[in-house]
Amino acid sequence: MAEPKLTTQTRMIRDLQKCQLLAADITESLKNQKAILKQRGMNLPPMVMTTLDSISKDLAGLAERFVEEQAELRQLRALADMSTQLNSELDVDTVLQRTMDVVITLTRAERGYLILLNKETRQLVFRIIREEILIGQTPPGATPEVSTSIIKEVVTTRQPLLADNAYQDERLMNNNSIANLTMRSVLCVPLLYRDDILGVVYVDNRLQSGVFTNRELNTLTAFANTAAVAISNARLFERIQLLLGEITRVKDLMDSVFASIASGIIATNSEDLMTTINRAAAQMLEFQAENFIGQPMSNLLPRITANIDQALMQIREAGTAQQIEGEIETSQGRRALNIKLNPLRDAEETTRGVAVVVDDVTDLREQEQQIRITKTYLPPQMVDNIHEISNISLGGERRIVTCLFVEARSFDSLKHVSPREMLDILNHYLTAATDCIHGNGGIVDKYTGNEVMALFNTRLNPAEDHADRALACAMDMHRAFIDLYEKEGIHPEVLPYRAGMHTGVATLGNVGSPSRRDFTAIGDTINTAKRLEENAAMGQIIASEATCELLTTRDGLNFNALGTIQVKGRHQGIEIYEVSATD
């Protein structure tokens, strides 16, 4: 049977042991020969026995040092192996567990603790606890019975502390925890990373003294430095993972929001290359987004507008937002687009790209066109405040208003023209009258042939000076009609228009049915204004006393009292005045 192969260390130990046995045999033999030589009158050479004793002691010391060095070598190898494993692990808990495994292996401690320092609270937290079962373990949630003074001392000084007989160590004589716990061997080293202390590694033995030596101190200190780097790396990786998780969550949220935005959005970098295109933009412009990512913006938008290059240049040079209009032919027909370009700036306010927001405004343009057409048939205030009108019930509301009736051009003055020409002339005069009404804050209630009815101080055009506005409107019409006469080349002796106005309470609201309504004013005030217009002579502007009493100024106006007239539907007469401009 072949002998097992011996390691180099084992052979060296055997060789040292053989040398020790050989030296002992020689010494014993010389002692026996010394007596024989003495009987014969001979002696051994001087210093022979002393030299042999010295050789024996040297061999014993050499063997002891060899064993110690082999133990230290094993520790260093274990340290190197575990350091490699630690530096390859990025999970904090795993790193801490492996760190304690190495600590127990290197020091042969009874108990071991890895204690980390909380940077915010500066509290020491026991993260890893290793205790012998036979000695007794710390209950869950309880703080281990250790020397907090030693731990705080190491944290404060950032220097390791070794006590091979802590119970009798002069440095720790006043430490109550050492005395109460009857600790023997204690070793505590700091976990240092650069200029930051992460915590400490603490090991002890409550039964034996001299368990830890400078060899364990040096080895554990070296390992603690490596462990501190591994812990810092693992913590950094953990923070990065959390940050990446948060970034991913925010990105997913932004992608979801980005995809759900109805407006088309295109983002470019500093070279005007498209980096982001949302789904709405691709659908609106009818193209495949992936085919344009990384392409210049000018490859996509010129088919919409030729001004895109100029807009991009202005953003790069001036850093100001741009807005342009454009159209594009799509499968759904020609679409109108509104394009807003905004610079994307960094923290230094340097433009790093452009955000382009594209909106399909085709429906909006059509609605605006419909509203413009509607306003040619309905008073603009009525169209703009249609929601106000819709809130008024069919029963209406009572309100003080000033009502103005105007016959813009008498039919008698148009007997010589054809119906087509008559309509064209009337439209010119009604247009002039309407401009004057709108210019003074009134609303057109209705057109009736050659007449127009205007209201002041309705819910749609509230004004405290409604009487002043109505009278100013009538005077503006007088001047506008004279201008039209001159354009027609006529110089009538009697101006072919007349106006009447009255102020009082009227009922305003919607008349008709739920499916077809008309906003108007009714009541005695409206009827009286109409009667005043009918009683006015051509070229006259008639105002009731009720209207004149509310005027806040009469500058530039003449008021000629015409007496009292009786109008149909009223029992009392009405004082009326002819109003004209001061020459």
Structure tokens at 61: 């010391």
- Which pLDDT tens digit goes with each residue over 1-47? 444 455 565 666 666 666 667 766 676 676 676 667 666 666 666 66
Q: How far apart are the first and last CA of the chain?
A: 147
Reduced 3-state DSSP string for 69-129: HHHHHHHHHHHHHHHHHHHCCCCHHHHHHHHHHHHHHHHCCCEEEEEEECCCCCCEEEEEE
User: What rounded mean pLDDT belongs to the chain?
Assistant: 77
- Is the per-residue pLDDT at 383 higher than 70? no
* Whole-number pLDDT of residue 145: 78
Q: What class has domain 385-581?
A: alpha beta
Residue 323, classed as helix, strand or coil, is strand
- Is the per-residue pLDDT at 401 higher than 90? yes
- Which pLDDT tens digit goes with each residue over 51-93? 767 766 666 666 666 555 555 556 556 655 655 555 555 566 7
* Whole-number pLDDT of residue 501: 95
- Which pLDDT tens digit goes with each residue over 125-158? 888 888 765 555 667 767 787 878 888 888 889 9
- Is the per-residue pLDDT at 207 higher than 80? no
Asked if residues 528 and 574 have their Cβ atoms less than 8 Å apart, the reply is yes
Q: Does residue 252 or residue 549 have the better pLDDT?
A: 549
- Is the per-residue pLDDT at 174 higher than 60? no
* Whole-number pLDDT of residue 167: 46
- Residue ranges of the domains in the chain? 8-76, 89-131+146-238, 261-365, 385-581
- 110-121: average pLDDT: 84
- 551-580: average pLDDT: 87
- Which pLDDT tens digit goes with each residue over 322-359? 887 877 777 877 888 888 888 887 777 777 788 888 88
- Is the per-residue pLDDT at 388 higher than 80? no
* Whole-number pLDDT of residue 1: 44
Q: Which of 246, 315, 255, 244 is nearest to 279 (CA)?
A: 255
**Cα separations in angstroms, 96 against 128, 165, 506, 569:** 7, 28, 89, 103
Return the H-helix or E-strand segment holding 192.
strand 185-193
- Which pLDDT tens digit goes with each residue over 230-287? 778 877 888 888 888 887 787 676 666 666 677 888 888 878 788 887 888 877 777 7
- Which pLDDT tens digit goes with each residue over 283-330? 777 777 778 788 887 777 655 655 667 777 777 777 778 887 877 777
Q: Does residue 443 or residue 367 have the better pLDDT?
A: 443
Asked if residues 408 and 429 have their Cβ atoms less than 8 Å apart, the reply is yes
Instruction: For residue 479, count other CB atoms closer than 10 A to its CB.
Output: 11
Q: Which amino acid is at 187?
A: L
Q: Does residue 114 or residue 514 have the better pLDDT?
A: 114
* Whole-number pLDDT of residue 436: 94
Q: Which of 554, 562, 563, 561 is nearest to 582 (CA)?
A: 554
As a whole number of angstroms, the distance between CA 549 and CA 471 comes to: 12
CATH fit for domain 261-365, picks 3.60.130.10, 3.40.50.300, 3.30.450.20, 3.40.50.970? 3.30.450.20
Q: Does residue 389 or residue 56 have the better pLDDT?
A: 56
CATH number, span 89-131+146-238 = 3.30.450.40
Q: Which amino acid is at 105?
A: T
Instruction: For residue 29, count other CB atoms closer than 10 A to its CB.
Output: 10
Instruction: For residue 52, count other CB atoms closer than 10 A to its CB.
Output: 17
- Is the per-residue pLDDT at 412 higher than 80? yes
Q: Cβ neighbours of residue 174 under 8 Å, at least 6 residues apart?
A: none
Confidence of residue 453 (pLDDT cuts 50, 70, 90): very high
- Is the per-residue pLDDT at 112 higher than 90? no
- Which pLDDT tens digit goes with each residue over 467-508? 999 999 999 999 999 999 999 888 888 899 999 999 999 988
Is 385-581 the same fold as 89-131+146-238?
no
Exposure b/e, 230-253, CB count within 10 A at least 16 = b? bbbbbbeeeeeeeeeeeeeeeeee
